[in-house]
Amino acid sequence: MDILLSEAQIQERVRQLGRRIEAEYHGRPLTIVAVLTGSLVFLADLIRQIGLPLRVALLQASSYKGAVSTAGPLLLNEAFVPDVAGRDVLLLDDILDTGHTLSALVRQMTERGARSVRTVVLLRKLGRQEVHLEPDYCGFTIPDAFVVGYGLDYADDYRHLPYVAILPGSHPPPGAGG
């Protein structure tokens, strides 16, 4: 597979993001809310670069996509939804693709009384966004290709790779998500 982002590149960028988040949230009650499952590796690395008291919560969200790329409503697993009332929430995901997942979650967190809601993504895919959302923190902008590794999967495989690679000859599987 073609490596798009090496382990060293990712680690260096995650360190930089951690520094920025640490500086900007200093003295505020930070809650990082990560979207399962693709964000797990990024989450684990990023929180160890933020020298602040913080809470971590995990969310399970899925948007059932139709035959083409029209996203259906976002389904949230209520069992996972943390109490965010009065907290400064940083929503974390592996990749910003169409933007439907994160923009729906920003609304949800606001409705649940978060004091502020920001977003952090490791990757942002060029030319794919259907919903306007400017991530507050972004690791890398990448071309429109299907990528795996560092948490990102193809049919639940490849999440454990320490780098991000382009899956050869692949089209995104219908309803890819998570």
Binding stretches for Mg ion (CB under 5 A): 38, 178
Q: What angle do CA 19, 25, 26 make, to 5 degrees?
A: 85
Q: Which of 14, 41, 92, 152 is the binder for ligand IMP (CB under 6 A)?
A: 152
Active site residue 93: no
Of the residues 93, 94, 97, 153, only one is catalytic, namely: 97
Binding residues for ligand IMP, rule CB under 6 A, total: 20
CB of 95 to Mg ion, least distance (A): 7
Smallest CA-to-CA distance from 96 within 159, 31, 39 is with: 39
Q: How many CB atoms lie within 10 A of CB 42?
A: 25
One residue of 99, 135, 139, 149 binding ligand IMP per CB under 6 A: 99
Fill in the per-residue mask, 78 to 97: x = in contact with ligand IMP (CB under 6 A), - = not in contact: ---------------xxxxx
The answer to whether residue 177 forms part of the interface with ligand IMP (CB under 6 A) is: yes
Residue of 55, 110, 112, 178 interacting with ligand IMP (CB under 6 A): 178
- Number of alpha carbons in the 13 Å side-chain half-sphere of residue 38: 24
Locate all alpha helices (DSSP H) within the chain, ordered by sequence: 7-24, 40-47, 100-111
- Amino acid in the structure at residue 141: T
Active site residues per annotation: 97
